[in-house]
C-alpha cells in the first residue's frame, strides 16, 4: 500500500471516528448544522496531528493552542486565553501581591507602553519610566505575543530575573531586572493644606475600595474641606472596586452602564444622597478603564471638575472565566457607558481644564492647577 493511501486512510478514519463525537457535541451544545463542517475540519486536523506528527504530542497543549488561536483571531488586545500558570499569575495580580517589577502597561496601536512605575520597586530602581516602549521580553519580541501575555511573562517567581528591551527617544536598551514581591498600596491620602485633601489611586484591585475609604476618613478627621483625586497613570482594574469608591463621591444615580452585544444592560448605581465636598480629578493619557468610569461619572453628574489631558479610551469590559484545567479565559463581553450615555472606547474623556505636563518639568503643573481650581470651588461655597 502506498504512503499516500495510508495517509488518506488515516484521515478518513479520523473523520469517521469524529462523526459520533460531533453528533454528541451538536446535541449537547445546540450547534446548528452550519457549524458541523467546521467541527469536522477541526477534529480531523487534531486527530491527524496526534496520529502522524513526527513526535508524540501533548494533547492538553494541543487544545490549549487551539483555544488560544481562537481568542487571538478576535484581534482584541484585551481578550486572552490563559493556561494554568498564567491564570494563577493573573489571580495573584488582582489580589494585590505578586512577583514582578512594579510597572503597569498599556496596549495601544500595536505597542506595549509603560504607563506607570511604582515607587521603590525593581522597575524604578533600574530607571524605567512612564512612556517607555517595551519591544521584547527575554529576547522575544512582543509582536510574537498577545499584548496581555507580555505582562504575564514579565511577572514570575520572586528573585528571578527578566530582561526587557526598552525603546526610549529613538534608542533601544536592555534592562536586566530582578523580580520582587510587589505589594500594591493602591490608594494613599495626604493633606495639602488650606483644607485640601489629596488621594492618589494607583489602580483598582481588590482592596482599593477599603484603602480609599480609610484615606478618605483620615482626611475628614484632619479637617478636609475639598478633595483632589489623582487618577493619572492609573490603568484601571476591577470595576467593583471602582463602584465602591464611586459610592463615596458620586451623587445618587447611575455610575456606569455595562451593555452587552444583545443590548442587555447592567447599571451600577450610587446611593450617596449628595457629595460632601467639592472635588477635582486629575487624569491623563494613561488613565484607563475603571479610572475612566470614575472620572466620567464624576464629570457627568457635575460632582467634579476634571483637570489634565484626555484619558486613554478603554471602554470595554472583560470577564475572567475559570476553566476545567485550572486555566482561564479573559474575554471582552461588553462596553461601558457613562451616566450621560457616553461610550468612550477609543475616544477617551476630555478634561474640563486641559493642562499638558511639559517635558522635563520641575514642578507638577497639573496638580498645581487642580489645587487652584479646588481653591476657587472652596471660595464659592
Catalytic residue numbers read: 289, 300, 314
Cβ atoms of residues 270 and 253 within 8 Å: yes
Q: Is the dihedral of CA 167, 168, 173, 178 positive or negative?
A: negative
Residues contacting 98, CB < 8 A, separation 6+ = 89, 92, 155, 181, 182
Rounded to whole angstroms, the Cα distance separating 37 from 220 reads 65
What the block records as the C-alpha cell of 96 is: 494585590
What the block records as the C-alpha cell of 373 is: 481650581
How many of the other CB atoms lie within 10 Å of CB of 92?
Answer: 15
Rounded to whole angstroms, the Cα distance separating 360 from 79 reads 36
Cβ atoms of residues 223 and 188 within 8 Å: no
How far from the centroid of its chain's Cα atoms is residue 207's Cα?
16
3-class secondary-structure state, position 114 = strand
Residues contacting 58, CB < 8 A, separation 6+ = none
Cβ atoms of residues 350 and 310 within 8 Å: yes
What the block records as the C-alpha cell of 101 is: 517589577
Cβ atoms of residues 290 and 336 within 8 Å: no
What the block records as the C-alpha cell of 9 is: 486512510
Amino acid at each position: 500500500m502506498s504512503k499516500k493511501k495510508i495517509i488518506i486512510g488515516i484521515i478518513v478514519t479520523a473523520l469517521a471516528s469524529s462523526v459520533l463525537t460531533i453528533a454528541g457535541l451538536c446535541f449537547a451544545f445546540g450547534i446548528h448544522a452550519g457549524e458541523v463542517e467546521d467541527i469536522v475540519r477541526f477534529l480531523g486536523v487534531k486527530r491527524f496531528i496526534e496520529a502522524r506528527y513526527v513526535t508524540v504530542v501533548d494533547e492538553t497543549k494541543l487544545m490549549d493552542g487551539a483555544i488560544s488561536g481562537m481568542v487571538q483571531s478576535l484581534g482584541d488586545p484585551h481578550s486572552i486565553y490563559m493556561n494554568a500558570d498564567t491564570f494563577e499569575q493573573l489571580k495573584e495580580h488582582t489580589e494585590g501581591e505578586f512577583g514582578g517589577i512594579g510597572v503597569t502597561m498599556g496596549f495601544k496601536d500595536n505597542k506595549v507602553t509603560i504607563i506607570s512605575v511604582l515607587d521603590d520597586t525593581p522597575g524604578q530602581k533600574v530607571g524605567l519610566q512612564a512612556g517607555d516602549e517595551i519591544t521584547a521580553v527575554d529576547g522575544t519580541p512582543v509582536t510574537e505575543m498577545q499584548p496581555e501575555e507580555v505582562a504575564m511573562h514579565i511577572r514570575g517567581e520572586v528573585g528571578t530575573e527578566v530582561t526587557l528591551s526598552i525603546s526610549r527617544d529613538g534608542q533601544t536598551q536592555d534592562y536586566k531586572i530582578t523580580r520582587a514581591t510587589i505589594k500594591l498600596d493602591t490608594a494613599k491620602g495626604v493633606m495639602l493644606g488650606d483644607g485640601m485633601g489629596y488621594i492618589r489611586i494607583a489602580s483598582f484591585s481588590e482592596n482599593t475600595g477599603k484603602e480609599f475609604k480609610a484615606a478618605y476618613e483620615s482626611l475628614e478627621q484632619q479637617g478636609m474641606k475639598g478633595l483632589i483625586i489623582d487618577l493619572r497613570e492609573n490603568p484601571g482594574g476591577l470595576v467593583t472596586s471602582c463602584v465602591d469608591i464611586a459610592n463615596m463621591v458620586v451623587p445618587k444615580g447611575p455610575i456606569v452602564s455595562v451593555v452587552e452585544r444583545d443590548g442587555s444592560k447592567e447599571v451600577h448605581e450610587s446611593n450617596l444622597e449628595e457629595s460632601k465636598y467639592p472635588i477635582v480629578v486629575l487624569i491623563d493619557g494613561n488613565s484607563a478603564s475603571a479610572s475612566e468610569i470614575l472620572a466620567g461619572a464624576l464629570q457627568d453628574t457635575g460632582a467634579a471638575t476634571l483637570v489634565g489631558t484626555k484619558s486613554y479610551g478603554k471602554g470595554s469590559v472583560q470577564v475572567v472565566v475559570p476553566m476545567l484545567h485550572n486555566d482561564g479565559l479573559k474575554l471582552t463581553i461588553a462596553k461601558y457607558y457613562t451616566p450621560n450615555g457616553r461610550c468612550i472606547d477609543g475616544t477617551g474623556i476630555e478634561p474640563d481644564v486641559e493642562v499638558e505636563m511639559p517635558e522635563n518639568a520641575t514642578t507638577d503643573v497639573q496638580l498645581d492647577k487642580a489645587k487652584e481650581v479646588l481653591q476657587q470651588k472652596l471660595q464659592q461655597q
